[in-house]
Amino acid sequence: MTDPKKDIDRLQREIDDARSDADRAFKGEPPKPVVYRQPSLGLDVVLTGAGMLLVLGLSVSLAS
């Protein structure tokens, strides 16, 4: 059975090493923010909407 005190000390050293690596990396260059850009609505959406309105208008006029 392993000694819990040694395990805790080893884990603490690993955490400290990871933290110091992260600090060094951050000081070198700040992380770039992730920016979400919503895609703009293009001409294809306008043409699709116009086509649907045309089909709807034709179906209503032919049904009556």
d(CA 58, CA 25): 64
Residue ranges of the domains in the chain?
1-29
Q: What is the pLDDT of residue 1?
A: 59
| Cβ neighbour number for residue 6 with a 10 Å cutoff | 9
pLDDT in tens, 10-23: 999 999 988 888 87
Q: What is the pLDDT of residue 28?
A: 67
Nearest by Cα to 55 from 47, 29, 6, 28 = 47
pLDDT in tens, 24-51: 776 766 666 777 777 777 888 889 999 9
